[in-house]
Structure 1
């Protein structure tokens, strides 16, 4: 069997592995029923759907010919480092600096990972995301997410 699209092959395998991993992890939770789903119901279903999507992409990579074989290029270390670092920074910043500072920090530092960084776009995105997150999580769902830095709320 010949791989006809290297990118689709590896992304299909990744989707299958991640989907099955989430589905397997969801088996530790109660499933409930269709009428009253438990906490494991949604992640299990989503994991299975992700694995099925990966199987479709994998099948496509083995059956549909792509010009040049669509090889996987060099590994993009800079964007990967920025994104992983940004997520770690956000995990630390949210409880310490609050959502008003942590979310714009997340958006701006993550935007630096790309080749076309523009301050105006990054600031506009951070404002929209912060307001939207406040509306959904704090105002709408009444979650206890710190809005302001901990040293201001004492």
Structure 2
């Protein structure tokens, strides 16, 4: 996967002016990252063939719970952040989306704590607000429209 993504990024970067190390173009950095990622993928693949186990390690069962909750948390974050007008779902803003993301993803771990997730969500929401809205001055909905109206 690393190799494939690295090659795609490197090839995609050639659509931009690459330039040189002394005078970098917009495609220079993505090209180098793509090449490094592809090299890392080749190294990881080669290392995987050097197993020291005689019979190999047994493959464990598939972790459905974490997979479902993590994917669901990311989907909920996207839907709540920007909304889905075609389905009549309004944008709820960054703060609500972060709380939903953290609370849903917290259930991926057995014996998860709601209190722990709420504390983490509060820290992440405050940090995101400071970084994106205050420091970078990005313009996107922080709260739902019915709260700010």
Which residue of the partner structure matches residue 16 of structure 1?
Answer: 3
> When the two structures are aligned, how many residues end up with a matched partner?
140
- What is the CA-CA distance between 1:66 and the residue it aligns to? 3.7
1:82 has 2:69 as partner: yes
Greater RCO (CA < 8 Å, at least 6 residues apart): 1
Are residues 1:111 and 2:95 paired?
Answer: no
- Structural RMSD (CA): 2.2
Q: Please say which structure displays the higher CA radius of gyration.
A: 2
Match of 2:44 in 1: 57
Q: Who is 2:142 aligned against? A: 147
Answer whether contact 2:6 2:37 (CA < 8 A) is retained. Answer: yes
Deviations 1:81-100 (A, max 9, x none): 22222211111101311111
Gaps of at least 5 residues in structure 1 are 1-13
Deviation larger for 82-91 or 45-54: 45-54
